[in-house]
Chains A and B, each alone.
Chain A
Amino acid sequence: MDYQSLGFKCGLEIHQQLDTNKLFCNCQSFFEENKVDYEIKRKLKASAGELGDVDIAALHETLKNKAFIYQVNRETACLIELDDEPIHELNKEALKVVLQVAMVLNAKIIDELQVMRKVVVDGSNVSGFQRSALVAVNGFLDTSKGRVGIETICIEEESAKKIKEDEKTVTYNLSRLGIPLIEIATDASIKDPEHAKEVAEQLGMILRSTGKVKRGIGTIRQDVNVSIKGHPRVELKGFQDLRSIPKVIEQEIKRQQENIKNKKLHHEVRKVNPDFTSTFLRPMPGSSRMYPETDLVPIKISKNLLSEIKIPELITEKAVNIEKKYNLSPQMSREILKLNIPFDYYAEKYKLNPSIIAEILVEIPKELKARFNINTEKLTKDNFEFIFENLQSKKINREAAKDVLKELAEGKHIDLNNFKQIDNKEIEEKLKEIISKNKGAHFSALMGEAMKIFRGKSDGKTISDLLKKLVKN
């Protein structure tokens, strides 16, 4: 498809949670939905002039009959989340991460930040507004298809998570409210659907390179703005997987082409579905109503502060380094970094082949998860060190390592005697027995029988060699 002649315009907006305490208070920022200590009930007030084009009388009626229930977990929400205490200072640690990213993206940092209140009336912010500050502008990202402009980089508060809704009340959980977010908005110069995916991946990689971003479902959100000539801009939200971006955009282009034919042109926000289509979410909101956060003085970005900011080594660069140093595959190197594994530490501490270390840290947990549905995230550094030590002292072998790791992940007590290595003579004796019991059996059947007995006590190659020798004889 010739995207240029379609008048294809596309830009991204990325929201990523930062892994620090909350933005304006000292609450920890983890999401704990199941533990609710108490609930409060609130109403929001609409004021004339607050929403410009929106019919104030109508909004007033809506809010009049709407109550918001907020679930509070004492560990993750304080009076600031309840909007019953003025905010504290803006979290410096979070600001530093945003400044780091701004520098990597070659953006110009604003001299004095002004925290703004962006009016939000759906109850997802207890206060009735989301706090946000513009930190940097006019940056760029070099990609395989040319330069993409980074228009704005903001620091802002995450909203509360909606738990349920009925006609009169909406229930939110406050754990997520106030977690720092970085918002990166590109310009509309993305060339084609594949390019959008590349830009999203690169920005994600840059964010992860800071080592200070949250990981897991819902911690990063990509919104895609897309339009073709003759169609107003449409915002696509809720991508579960970056790999789906090109397909979703292609579907959207088709939809817009149909719309142009049928003269159904809507400026709207759409939600992405798992089958790459999208459904209408809401009309495109007008520009946000913002006014300054009056409980905070403007924040000067001093030379001192800027001099404290270190540009992080990007994960792509790190991956190349690990790849070369330990002779690993590029894929494995990227995987190690994606999982945030301190590979250098293990590789230097244990006299083991780096590829074995990588297999135990990356491949085996993946396999255990896929095959046995075992939660390998429970495996600790100590668990892995236990394996490496015993591998190094040859108390277990590579085969056994998998079984030991499985038992560790299952929280079982490990008896190393079960994994004791046996010597070749003993093996030969047993193999002879197997051969005589299974006269005429195929080699692979014999091997299967043998492995039932020797699994974890010797490695497959030794057994197969011995078996071959015996069968020949």
Chain B
Amino acid sequence: MEKINSGDKVRIHADSGEFEGTVLPSLDKNIFVLKLKSGYNIGLEKKKIKKVELILKHKPQEYKKQKLSFNKELKTISILHTGGTIASQVNYETGGVIARFTPEEIVSMFPEIKDISNIKSRLISNMFSEDMNFNHYNILAKEIQKEIKNGADGIIITHGTDTLALTAAALSFTLEGLNIPVILVGAQRSSDRGSTDAKLNLLSAAHFIAKTDYQGVAICMHETKNDDKCLILPPAKTRKFHSSGRDAFKVINDVPIAEVSNEGHVKFLRQHPKKENKKLKLKLFKPNIKVGILKSHPNMFAKEISNYKNFNALILEGTGLGHFPINKIDKFTSENQKIYNEIKKLAKNMPVIMTSQTIYGRINMNVYSTGRLLQEAGVIGNYLDMLTETAFIKIAWLLSNYPKNKVKELFHENLRGEISKRTEE
């Protein structure tokens, strides 16, 4: 018998009857997966199959390319892809999802985009965002620099949503003197579904680039569950707040930069600096910098802190205004004393930074004695309203680019909008 491959048309004689269809790849070696003419896929147990007849060998379909024209009147946007979902499309023959990244493919999926700008598009790395590390931030920064040199008026980065906000923060630090808009866009609902949020997010980012003179990194995602508006969000002040909803990205201790309506109207929600002549300078990450994040919780042990003794920095995500369990109150709390000693030891050798689990609000380690003791131990971050994730990116970036004695001072300085001096809400 001729070998049967995925995509081949076959007739199967099984205990449950005769089935004609296309062979699909199966995850289970005991199951034969067939796409029937009706469109349904079924799984048949191999041991119940009596005969497989080959009807037609598979011939891969050619993907029809659309020719793109260049419009001198429009800006040029480079789309750099780091993840598959925003540009994925279903192959109805096999049912698989194929990622599409060429400009022609992007335009065929989102035709409106060609009326907004000229499009360049290429794949940087096709990965889940949770797998990214500092190396990838550096690659992205270099690719952005390359695109700017090649004349891009703006850049859209498609990115998995899980760590999108961290990449945005990282790029905002890395791309010093950035003179064009670099907008990160994700999709919470995959673009193989009609209801995807990818389209509005992508088109809104394109509108924002085409219609404004914004310079810097930002995030563009849905504001609500409605497909009617996107927000342009500050890179170091934004956090993903929902595992699946399209309205997942919220600005913390700050206000959004702008909103973009479904029709492409841009409205700035705060003052943004005038366009200026800046020169881009890349300040990259050292990939081997080790920064830990430790969340305070009841019943903590000192070992949890000393685990980080060989790291370069530690973020303590404390409770409330910035607290850790460090007070010996009774016979049950002697471990707390050890915790305090370990924090003190670490803080002698590395930046130990306090952020808050409350997410909203500001650190103040002067209100309670716990905070004062932590400051005495050398914990920094007082009066800051920085997100844990941003603090993590910032300290790693500072340690990568500045001498150790400047790091603590710079950490408390607002470099990219990561610190607000006042809190309105």
Per-residue interface assignment for chain B, residues 32 to 46, with 1 indicating a CB less than 8 Å from any chain A CB and 0 otherwise: 010011111111110
Assuming A84-B244, A134-B36, is B194 touching A129 (CB within 8 A)? Answer: yes
Question: Within A1-54, which residues are at the interface with B (CB < 8 Å)?
Answer: 40-50, 52
- Are the C-beta atoms of B228 and A110 separated by less than 8 Å? no
Task: Provide the residues of chain B in CB contact with A111, threshold 8 Å.
Answer: 16, 31, 42-45, 48
- Are the C-beta atoms of B225 and A84 separated by less than 8 Å? yes
Assuming A41-B227, A47-B89, A287-B37, is B188 touching A112 (CB within 8 A)? Answer: no
Binding site for B on A (CB under 8 A): 40-50, 52, 57, 60, 64, 67, 79, 82-86, 108-114, 116-121, 126-129, 132-134, 137-138, 152, 154, 287-292, 294, 297-298, 300
Assuming A50-B90, A84-B189, A108-B16, is B43 touching A45 (CB within 8 A)? Answer: no
Task: Provide the residues of chain B in CB contact with A113, threshold 8 Å.
Answer: 42-43
Partner of A49, one of B37, B92, B226: B92
- Are the C-beta atoms of A47 and B244 separated by less than 8 Å? no
Q: How far apart are B199's CB and chain A's nearest CB, in angstroms? A: 5
Task: Provide the residues of chain A in CB contact with B350, threshold 8 Å.
Answer: none
Bound together, the chains give a CA A47 to CA B108 distance in angstroms of: 8
Q: Which of A79, A113, A114 has the most CB of B within 10 A?
A: A114
Partner of B193, one of A79, A82, A117: A117
**Chain B interface, >50% SS class:** loop
Partner of B109, one of A48, A83, A128: A48
Bound together, the chains give a CA A126 to CA B194 distance in angstroms of: 8
Q: Which residue of A lies closest to B42 (CB)?
A: A110
- Are the C-beta atoms of B38 and A45 separated by less than 8 Å? no
- Are the C-beta atoms of A42 and B226 separated by less than 8 Å? yes
Question: Within B97-117, which residues are at the interface with A (CB < 8 Å)?
Answer: 97, 108-109, 111-112
Partner of A45, one of B17, B199, B245: B199
- Are the C-beta atoms of B95 and A292 separated by less than 8 Å? yes
Q: Which residue of B lies closest to A298 (CB)?
A: B43
- Are the C-beta atoms of A110 and B44 separated by less than 8 Å? yes
Bound together, the chains give a CA A126 to CA B245 distance in angstroms of: 14
Q: Does B304 contact A (CB under 8 A)?
A: no
Bound together, the chains give a CA A120 to CA B195 distance in angstroms of: 11
Per-residue interface assignment for chain B, residues 140 to 158, with 1 indicating a CB less than 8 Å from any chain A CB and 0 otherwise: 0000000000000000000
Task: Provide the residues of chain A in CB contact with B81, threshold 8 Å.
Answer: none
Bound together, the chains give a CA A287 to CA B244 distance in angstroms of: 31
Q: Which residue of B lies closest to A60 (CB)?
A: B111
Bound together, the chains give a CA A219 to CA B45 distance in angstroms of: 35
Task: Provide the residues of chain A in CB contact with B247, threshold 8 Å.
Answer: 84
Task: Provide the residues of chain A in CB contact with B262, threshold 8 Å.
Answer: 43
Bound together, the chains give a CA A398 to CA B38 distance in angstroms of: 59
Q: Which residue of A lies closest to B111 (CB)?
A: A60
Task: Provide the residues of chain B in CB contact with A297, threshold 8 Å.
Answer: 27
Q: Does B250 contact A (CB under 8 A)?
A: no
Q: How far apart are A49's CB and chain B's nearest CB, in angstroms? A: 7
Of the A-B pairs whose beta carbons lie under 8 Å apart in the complex, a sample of 29, sorted by A's number, is A41-B226, A42-B226, A43-B200, A43-B227, A45-B194, A45-B196, A47-B192, A48-B89, A49-B92, A79-B244, A83-B189, A84-B189, A84-B244, A84-B246, A84-B247, A86-B244, A110-B44, A111-B44, A112-B28, A116-B40, A127-B193, A134-B40, A152-B38, A287-B37, A289-B92, A290-B40, A291-B192, A292-B95, A294-B190
Q: Does B191 contact A (CB under 8 A)?
A: yes
Bound together, the chains give a CA A285 to CA B198 distance in angstroms of: 28
- Are the C-beta atoms of B39 and A288 separated by less than 8 Å? yes
Task: Provide the residues of chain A in CB contact with B246, threshold 8 Å.
Answer: 84
Bound together, the chains give a CA A84 to CA B33 distance in angstroms of: 29
Bound together, the chains give a CA A134 to CA B224 distance in angstroms of: 36
Q: How far apart are A282's CB and chain B's nearest CB, in angstroms? A: 19
Besides the contacts A45-B198, A114-B43, A287-B37, what 9 more A-B pairs have beta carbons closer than 8 Å? Answer: A47-B89, A84-B245, A84-B247, A111-B44, A112-B44, A112-B45, A113-B42, A291-B92, A298-B31
Bound together, the chains give a CA A64 to CA B112 distance in angstroms of: 9
Task: Provide the residues of chain B in CB contact with A52, threshold 8 Å.
Answer: 92
- Are the C-beta atoms of A110 and B16 separated by less than 8 Å? yes
Q: Does B15 contact A (CB under 8 A)?
A: yes
**A-B CB proximity, top 7 nearest:** A128-B194, A112-B43, A108-B16, A290-B39, A114-B41, A134-B40, A44-B194
Q: Which of A44, A45, A60, A119 has the most CB of B within 10 A?
A: A45
Bound together, the chains give a CA A132 to CA B40 distance in angstroms of: 8
Bound together, the chains give a CA A298 to CA B30 distance in angstroms of: 13
- Are the C-beta atoms of B109 and A47 separated by less than 8 Å? yes
Binding site for A on B (CB under 8 A): 15-17, 19, 27-28, 31, 33, 36-45, 48, 89-92, 95, 97, 108-109, 111-112, 188-196, 198-200, 224-228, 244-247, 262
Bound together, the chains give a CA A119 to CA B95 distance in angstroms of: 12
Q: Which residue of B lies closest to A44 (CB)?
A: B194
Bound together, the chains give a CA A50 to CA B97 distance in angstroms of: 12
Bound together, the chains give a CA A304 to CA B111 distance in angstroms of: 50
Task: Provide the residues of chain B in CB contact with A127, threshold 8 Å.
Answer: 193-195
- Are the C-beta atoms of A294 and B92 separated by less than 8 Å? no
Bound together, the chains give a CA A114 to CA B36 distance in angstroms of: 12
Bound together, the chains give a CA A288 to CA B36 distance in angstroms of: 12
- Are the C-beta atoms of B42 and A134 separated by less than 8 Å? yes
- Are the C-beta atoms of A128 and B225 separated by less than 8 Å? no
Q: Which residue of A lies closest to B37 (CB)?
A: A287
Task: Provide the residues of chain A in CB contact with B15, threshold 8 Å.
Answer: 108
Partner of B42, one of A47, A85, A114, A121: A114
Partner of A116, one of B17, B39, B97, B109: B39
Bound together, the chains give a CA A64 to CA B194 distance in angstroms of: 12
Q: Which of B48, B108, B194 has the most CB of A within 10 A?
A: B194
Partner of A138, one of B16, B43, B112, B193: B16
Bound together, the chains give a CA A108 to CA B44 distance in angstroms of: 12
- Are the C-beta atoms of B95 and A46 separated by less than 8 Å? no
Task: Provide the residues of chain A in CB contact with B19, threshold 8 Å.
Answer: 137
Bound together, the chains give a CA A300 to CA B39 distance in angstroms of: 19
Task: Provide the residues of chain B in CB contact with A43, threshold 8 Å.
Answer: 199-200, 227, 262
Assuming A84-B245, A127-B194, is B16 touching A49 (CB within 8 A)? Answer: no
Bound together, the chains give a CA A116 to CA B92 distance in angstroms of: 11
Q: Which of A41, A79, A292 has the most CB of B within 10 A?
A: A292
- Are the C-beta atoms of B36 and A291 separated by less than 8 Å? no
Bound together, the chains give a CA A448 to CA B241 distance in angstroms of: 77
Q: How far apart are B228's CB and chain A's nearest CB, in angstroms? A: 6
Task: Provide the residues of chain A in CB contact with B39, threshold 8 Å.
Answer: 116, 118, 287-290
Bound together, the chains give a CA A57 to CA B190 distance in angstroms of: 22
Bound together, the chains give a CA A60 to CA B194 distance in angstroms of: 11
- Are the C-beta atoms of A83 and B193 separated by less than 8 Å? yes
Q: How far apart are A135's CB and chain B's nearest CB, in angstroms? A: 9
Bound together, the chains give a CA A86 to CA B190 distance in angstroms of: 10
Q: How far apart are A127's CB and chain B's nearest CB, in angstroms? A: 5
- Are the C-beta atoms of A40 and B92 separated by less than 8 Å? no
Task: Provide the residues of chain A in CB contact with B112, threshold 8 Å.
Answer: 64
Q: Which residue of A lies closest to B189 (CB)?
A: A83
Assuming A47-B109, A109-B16, A127-B195, is B89 touching A82 (CB within 8 A)? Answer: no
Task: Provide the residues of chain B in CB contact with A44, threshold 8 Å.
Answer: 194-195
